[in-house]
Structure formats: structure tokens, C-alpha cells
Structure 1
Amino acid sequence: MSAQASPLPDQGGSARVDSWIWSVRLTRTRSAAAAACRAGHVRVNGERAKPAQPVKPGDEVRLFHEGRERIVIVQRTLTKRVGAPVAAECLIDKSPPPPTRVERAATGLRDRGAGRPTKRERRDTDALRGR
């Protein structure tokens, strides 16, 4: 019998935050996860995370990616990318639901090169967003 290494390590371990985000399929590549960390789009337990920061079970990871915020709780640490069903077991997703098509279309977009918005345009945009 040969002992094969399981992609799911024991509960007590830790993993790099960029590697874990990539392993549970929140980003497409590990370099994209590391870039998100460097840009300040990743927070672990409320603090900005560097790519090499360790995460352990019970940590809250917040990731702002592709226009939406993902809030997940680490259930199990991973260092290798796994399939979607296994990845779903490694986190608890507490993210708000993604915006509907109508909500996405309602956001005011300015024409490219239109310059800085005027005070009236800013008020209209804020009213549209519900601020």
C-alpha cells in the first residue's frame, strides 16, 4: 500500500492567504490573489493582509474581487487547488448576494474621457446609488 498525500490537511495547520484564496477558487490564479493582497483588497480578521500572511481555521477573510465583496470563514486550510465540491467544504460563505442585472445596470457610468463629474452629476449619482 502506498500512502498518498491528501489535498486536505488536518484542521490545525495554516496556509498562506494568497495560496488559500486560490485553492478554494475565489480567484483564478495565485498571482491574482497575491496582487489583490498587495492592493489592499484582502483582509484577514479585519486587518489588511500581505500575500504571505498565514490563515488558520476560524479566520474571517474578506476579498473585494470583480466588483463584489466576498466574506468567508476558513473551515480547513489548503495549499493545493482542489475541485469545487471539496473547496466548498473548506469555507463558510457569508457574502452578500451578487447584485442583480437591474442593480448593475442602474449604476451610473460616465462616458470615457468625459472628465471629472460636476457637483450636480455627483449628486445625481449618489441619489441613484441610494446614498
Structure 2
Amino acid sequence: MRLDKYLWFVRLVKTRAMAQALIEEGHLRIDGRPVDRCHVAVRPGMVLGFPLHDHIRVLRIEALPVRRGPAPEARACYTDLLPPVPSASEEGGE
């Protein structure tokens, strides 16, 4: 499956065009190697690293989706390898 299609199917980006832009900026890595082509094939076991919405995301691909389904179905296709970043309210900030 193409990388841009995967990012869109698992609901990490809202449109396939946004996925293509993210990839072409050159900030996305697969297994530690920089990627700048949308047509790169992905498969289960690969690790993706990229900045998204002011956070660094590191995900391991668990399955390839067959469609852009609901969010719970999409989340089952990857494992987030970085713990969630606590917000200021959770840290006890004032």
C-alpha cells in the first residue's frame, strides 16, 4: 500500500493531499530512513516517525486497512510507540 494512502486510511491526516504534502516535505521517516516520495510501499512491522500537529509521532504499522473506516478501526492498524504528552492541566500547572 502507498504511504500517502495509508496515512489517509488510518485517519492521521484529513485528506490524501495533506498526506502527500507531509511526505514531500521530507520530515517523514520509515525505519529511520528519510522518505520524500508518496508512492513508497508500506507493510506491517515498519516504523513511521514524523511531526504532526506540534507533536512527534512514532508508529509501528500493525495492519494495512482495506478502507478509510471509523476511527477505532483505523487505530487498530498501528501502535503508537511514544507515550502521550501530558497537557499543562494534567501536569498540575496553574
Confirm whether residue 67 of structure 1 aligns to residue 49 of structure 2. Answer: no
Q: Which residue of 1 aligns with 2:30?
A: 44
- TM-score (ref. length: structure 2): 0.83
Confirm whether residue 26 of structure 1 aligns to residue 26 of structure 2. Answer: no
Q: 1:72 to 1:44 in 2, by over 3 A?
A: same
Q: Which residue of 2 aligns with 1:90?
A: 77
Describe the superposition over 1:16-70 as per-residue Cα deviations: whole angstroms up to 9, x where unpaired.
1111011111111111111010001211111112211000000001121111111
Distance in 2 (CA, whole Å) between partners of 1:78 and 1:42 is 20
Aligned residues: 88
Q: 1:36 to 1:99 in 2, by over 3 A?
A: farther
Q: Which runs of 4+ in 1 moved over 6 A?
A: none
- TM-score (ref. length: structure 1): 0.62
**Structure (1/2) with the larger strand percentage:** 2
- How far is 1:101 from its partner? 3.2
Distance in 1 (CA, whole Å) between partners of 2:64 and 2:25 is 23
Q: 1:94 to 1:34 in 2, by over 3 A?
A: same
Distance in 1 (CA, whole Å) between partners of 2:66 and 2:27 is 20
State the percentage of identical aligned residues: 31
Q: Which residue of 1 aligns with 2:45?
A: 58
